[in-house]
C-alpha cells in the first residue's frame, strides 16, 4: 500500500482552467475571433446541413414513399434519416471536395486568410444552390427586398438565395411525391374495385393492397430506381 500511494503521488494530474486574459499582440485577437467563428459555425452546422444541401428533398421524398406504401412505421424513421444523410453526402461530395481543395487546404497551409477561405468556400455551395433554385422563387425574394435583378450569379445575396433554394427544394420534393403516389393509388383503386365486385365489403382494401404494393415495388426494383432518380435530379 505505501508503494501504491507513492506511485499515485508521483503521477501528474492534469488541471483544466478557463479564463479571459489580455492579448499580447493583434495576432492572438484574430486567432481568438476565428476560433469563436468556428464554434459558431459548428453550432449551426445541423441547420446548414438541412437547409443548404440535398437533404431536404431526399428526406421528404423518402417520407412520401413510406406514406404511399401504406407502412407508416416501416422503414423506421431513423433508417430514413440515415439513408437520407448518406445520399446527401454522396450528392454533395463534388461540392465538398471543391470547398476542401479551394478553401480549407490553402487556409490550413496559411496561404490565405480566414475571410478569403470563407469567400472561396461559398462559391461551390452557391453554384450548387443556384442550379437547384427556380427563377420564380429568386424573383419573389428579390421583389420582397425591393432589389433589382442581379447581373451575375455571384451578385445574388445569400439572404435571398438560401430561402429561395429551400422553397425550390420543397416544391421539387412535393412534385416527386405526387408522381410516387400515382402508381400506388392505381393499385388501391383496382383492389377496392375487385373487392367491391366480389361483395367482400367487410374486408378492408388496405389488407390486400399493401402486399400488392410491396410486391410491385420490389419487383420494379423501386429503391434503386428512386435513388437513381433522386441523384440524377441534382446533376
Is residue 56 within 8 A of residue 173, CB to CB? The reply is yes
Specify the pTM.
0.73
| SS3 state at 145 | coil
What pLDDT sits at residue 3?
53
- Whether 2 is covered by a domain: the verdict is no
Instruction: Supply the pLDDT for residue 34.
Output: 63
pLDDT given for residue 16 in this prediction = 46
Is 24 inside a domain boundary? Answer: no
Please say whether the beta carbons of 70 and 209 come within 8 A. Answer: yes
Q: What is the 3-state secondary structure (H, E, C) of 109-157?
A: CCCCCHHHHHHHHHHHHHHHHHHHCCHHHHHHHHHHCCCCCCCCHHHCC
Domain range spanning residue 129? 43-233
Number of domains in the chain: 1
Q: Is residue 133 part of a domain?
A: yes
Comparing CA positions, the residue from 74, 106, 81, 114 lying closest to residue 213 is 74
From first to last of its 235 residues, what are the pLDDT tens digits of the chain? 655 445 455 545 455 444 445 545 555 445 666 676 667 766 776 777 678 888 888 888 988 888 888 777 778 888 888 888 888 888 888 888 888 888 778 877 778 777 787 788 788 888 888 888 888 888 888 888 777 777 777 777 878 888 888 899 899 999 988 888 888 888 888 877 777 777 766 667 667 778 888 888 888 888 888 888 888 888 7
Q: Is residue 210 part of a domain?
A: yes
Reduce the DSSP state of residue 156 to 3 states and report it. Answer: coil
Cα-Cα-Cα-Cα dihedral sign, residues 170, 230, 83, 38 = negative
Nearest in space to 177 (alpha carbons), one of 130, 229, 100: 229
- Does residue 192 fall inside a structural domain? yes
What pLDDT is stored for residue 33 in this prediction?
Answer: 65
Give a yes or no: residue 80 inside a domain.
Answer: yes
Confirm whether 82 is domain-assigned.
yes
User: CA-to-CA distance for 60 and 68, rounded, in angstroms?
Assistant: 12
Residue reference for cell 440515415: 82
Residue 177 lies in a domain: yes
Amino acid at each position: 500500500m505505501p508503494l501504491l500511494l507513492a506511485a499515485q503521488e508521483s503521477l501528474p494530474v492534469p488541471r483544466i482552467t478557463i479564463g479571459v486574459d489580455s492579448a499580447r499582440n493583434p495576432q492572438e485577437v484574430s486567432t481568438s475571433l476565428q476560433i469563436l467563428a468556428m464554434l459558431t459555425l459548428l453550432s449551426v452546422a445541423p441547420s446548414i446541413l438541412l437547409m443548404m444541401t440535398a437533404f431536404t428533398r431526399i428526406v421528404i421524398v423518402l417520407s412520401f414513399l413510406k406514406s404511399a406504401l401504406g407502412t407508416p412505421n416501416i422503414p423506421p424513421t431513423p433508417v430514413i434519416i440515415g439513408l437520407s444523410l448518406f445520399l446527401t453526402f454522396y450528392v454533395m461530395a463534388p461540392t465538398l471536395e471543391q470547398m476542401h481543395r479551394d478553401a480549407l487546404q490553402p487556409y490550413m497551409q496559411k496561404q490565405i486568410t480566414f475571410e478569403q477561405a470563407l469567400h472561396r468556400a461559398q462559391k461551390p455551395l452557391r453554384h450548387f444552390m443556384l442550379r437547384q433554385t427556380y427563377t420564380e422563387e429568386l424573383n419573389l425574394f428579390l421583389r420582397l427586398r425591393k432589389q433589382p435583378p442581379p447581373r451575375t450569379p455571384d451578385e445574388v445575396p445569400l439572404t435571398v438565395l438560401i430561402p429561395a433554394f429551400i422553397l425550390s427544394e420543397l416544391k421539387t420534393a412535393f412534385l416527386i411525391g405526387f408522381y410516387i403516389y400515382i402508381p400506388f393509388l392505381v393499385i388501391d383503386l383496382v383492389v377496392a374495385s375487385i373487392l367491391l365486385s366480389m361483395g367482400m365489403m367487410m374486408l378492408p382494401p388496405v389488407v390486400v393492397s399493401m402486399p400488392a404494393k410491396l410486391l410491385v415495388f420490389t419487383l420494379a426494383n423501386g429503391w434503386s430506381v428512386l435513388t437513381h432518380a433522386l441523384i440524377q435530379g441534382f446533376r
